[in-house]
Amino acid sequence: MRILLTAVMGFAILAFLMTGENPLYLLHQAILARDPGYAEAVFKDRVAFGRALSSIAHADDGCAVAVVPLRCTRSKSPARGLWPRAVTDRFGGWWRNTPSRLRPPARHELLEICRAQIDAGTRAQLHAAMQAAGTFVIVDPQGNLLQIYAPRPRLAAYLRYTDPAAKQP
């Protein structure tokens, strides 16, 4: 047991010395950012962002999640852009300001359904941002897609839910 503990501590110290990051943070990011290319594909050419906080293209619970910190929030509103229907998993569209007077179609509360894919602190920031003025959201009519552009906590999120029981073509 002592050897195992020494090896784990040695790994943690080495990880800190190599990256300057907390080893637990690195482990957490390795788990949540299983597919870093997914966040890159979702946000590419749409917003300036840093390293993905969560990037999972296909989780077992049916969620696809990409959450990134915004690098620069000079623009208080996100760029509008529509993608052809054939293009999926791209950030952007027709944004609505928060808090919304109209209740969004919420067949699914995506932040809760996909909670395992987003760390608790980031999830709390996204929840708070959606209740505050100055955040922009997109919710599809079925409630299976949620996009968030939050300049105040400097976060952007893309969440899509597909029923895991549904047969994919």
User: Are 27 and 59 found together in one domain?
Assistant: no
Q: Tell me, yes or no, whether 78 lies in a domain.
A: yes
User: Are 121 and 51 found together in one domain?
Assistant: yes
User: Are 44 and 94 found together in one domain?
Assistant: yes
Task: Give me the number of domains the chain comprises.
Answer: 2
Encode pLDDT of 83-127 as tens digits: 544 456 778 888 888 886 655 555 448 888 888 888 888 899 999
- For residue 99, whether the previous peptide bond is cis, meaning omega lies within 30 degrees of 0, is yes
User: Are 23 and 81 found together in one domain?
Assistant: no
What is the rounded distance in angstroms from the CA atom of residue 71 to the CA atom of residue 134? Answer: 17
User: Are 107 and 59 found together in one domain?
Assistant: yes
Domain containing residue 151: 35-161
Q: Tell me, yes or no, whether 43 lies in a domain.
A: yes
Question: Structure tokens of 92?
Answer: 């952007």
Helix, strand, or coil here: 139?
strand
Question: Is 79:93 a contact under the CB 8 Å cutoff?
Answer: no
Q: Which of 25-29, 57-61, 111-115, 131-135 has the lowest mean pLDDT?
A: 25-29
Q: Which residues contact 49 (CB under 8 A, 6 or more apart)?
A: 39, 43, 68, 69, 70, 71, 156
User: Are 3 and 77 found together in one domain?
Assistant: no
Q: Tell me, yes or no, whether 169 lies in a domain.
A: no
**Predicted pLDDT at 155:** 94
What is the rounded distance in angstroms from the CA atom of residue 20 to the CA atom of residue 93? Answer: 37
**Predicted pLDDT at 149:** 92
User: Are 148 and 130 found together in one domain?
Assistant: yes
Average pLDDT value for residue range 25-32: 55
Question: Structure tokens of 151?
Answer: 């300049």
Query: What is the chain's length?
Result: 169
Question: Structure tokens of 79?
Answer: 């760029």
Identify the residue whose tokens are 């949540």.
32
**Predicted pLDDT at 148:** 93
User: Are 101 and 141 found together in one domain?
Assistant: yes
Most confident of 29-38, 67-76, 114-123: 114-123
User: Are 13 and 51 found together in one domain?
Assistant: no
- pLDDT range class, residue 21, cuts 50, 70, 90: low
Q: Tell me, yes or no, whether 141 lies in a domain.
A: yes
User: Are 43 and 96 found together in one domain?
Assistant: yes
User: Are 8 and 42 found together in one domain?
Assistant: no
What is the rounded distance in angstroms from the CA atom of residue 81 to the CA atom of residue 1? Answer: 56
Q: Tell me, yes or no, whether 168 lies in a domain.
A: no
User: Are 66 and 146 found together in one domain?
Assistant: yes
